[in-house]
Amino acid sequence: MIKAAILGATGYAGAELARLLSGHKETELVYLASHSYAGKRFSDIYPGMKGAVDDVLQEDDINKAAEHADVIFLALPAGLASSIVTEKLLEKCVVIDLGADYRLHDKNIYEKWYKTEHHSPSFLSEAVYGLPEIHREMIKGKRLIANPGCYTTCSILTLYPLVKEGLIDTESIIIDAKSGTSGAGRGEKLTSLYSEVNESIKPYGVTTHRHTPEIEQELSEAAGKSVVVEFTPHLVPMNRGILSVCYAKLVKGISDGDVRNAYAKAYGTERFIRLIDTIPETRYVKGTNLVDISFRINERTGNIIAMGAIDNLVKGAAGQAVQNMNIVFGLDEDEGLPASAGMPM
C-alpha cells in the first residue's frame, strides 16, 4: 500500500483528494493536515465523508508527514510549497504539489505573476509538469510533480494538438474560459458569496490571470516557438466545472479531416479524454477525471473554435494529482478515478 499524506486537506481540492484516495485500492491515508482545523475530525468538517475519512486532522507539518508517508500532496497557497520542500524531504518521499510553485520553469516569471518570492528555485529544473496526456513518460518515477492548474489543464489539452501539428496561427489564439465558484477556494470572500455570484456572470483577472504564463509555457514547448495567448476567465454561478472555448485562425488549406486526425493522433488512446462530436457541457464531466473536447470550423471566417470541458476539482486538481501518483508508482492510471458522471444531472 502507498501511504499518502495531504497538507491543506480541508480546502476544496484537498478534500476532493481525500475523497478520491479513500476509495483507492492501493493507497492508505496516513496523515491529513489542516492549519485551520487541526484537532478536529475530517468528517466533522465534511459530514458527507463520515465513515469513509474520520481521521483527526494534524497541523500542516511536512516533516512529520514525511515520517509516515510515501507521497505527500500539497494543497497550499502559492509560495508555501517552495518554502518547505527540501532535498532531505524529497529523499524520503514523492511530493505532488497542487499549487503553482513548481509549474513554471522560470523563477522570474513565477515571481512576476504571483507577486511572491520563490524559495527553492533549484528544484524548478527537476519538477515535472504533471499533465499526463503530454508528459507521461517524464512523470514516471519522479519525486517532484507540479500538478497543473484547472484552467490550464482544460485550455492546454484543448489546444495542444492544433499547436503541436502546426494547424493554427499561434499569434491568433484567444481563450474564453468559464469556471464554477469552487475554483475560488473555500476561504470566506465577499465575491464568492451566494448573493454576489448567483444570477450573474463576470470576467475577472482580465489580462492578469496567473494561469496565463502556464498556458503559454506549455503551448510554446508544443509549438517549438514562443506562444502568447489572450486568456480571459469568467466566474459562473455553478459549483464545479470549467468550459474553455478557444479561438484561432486556421492555417490556409487545413481541413476538418486534418484537425480530426491531429486530435486522434494526440488523444486516440487516452483513457480520460473523450473526443466528441457534440458541444461539450460541464455537467457531463462533473465528478470525473474526464476531458470532453470538440471543435467547429467556421468556413466563413477561417477560424477554428475548439472547446473543452472538465471538472475543475477532479481533472483540474485532485483527480489529476491521483493520476500523477498512479503514474509515478507504476499503478493502473485510472485506479481510484471516476470515469463517468452521475445521472440524472
Beta-carbon neighbour count of residue 342 at 10 Å? 10
CA distance 59 to 37: 8
Domain 2-126 listed as CATH 3.40.50.2300: no
* Residues with active-site annotation: 150
CA-CA-CA-CA dihedral for 204, 207, 213, 217, to nearest 10: 120
Q: Which fold has domain 151-310?
A: Dihydrodipicolinate Reductase; domain 2 (3.30.360)
pLDDT tens profile 154-177: 999 999 999 999 999 999 999 999
pLDDT-based confidence at residue 342 (cuts at 50, 70, 90) = confident
Instruction: Supply the pLDDT for residue 187.
Output: 72
- CATH 3.40.50.720 domain span(s) along the chain: 2-126
- CATH 3.30.360.10 domain span(s) along the chain: 151-310
Residue 182 phi, psi (nearest 5): -65, -20
Q: How many helices (H) and strands (E) does the chain have?
A: 12, 13
Instruction: Supply the pLDDT for residue 101.
Output: 98
pTM equals 0.96
Kindly tell me if the per-residue pLDDT of 240 is higher than 90.
yes
Of all residues in the chain, the percent with pLDDT exceeding 90 is 92
**Which residue type occupies 114?**
Y
Fill in the DSSP letter of residue 149.
P
Output the nine-digit C-alpha cell for 307.
472547446
pLDDT tens profile 250-293: 999 999 999 999 999 999 999 999 999 999 999 999 999 999 99
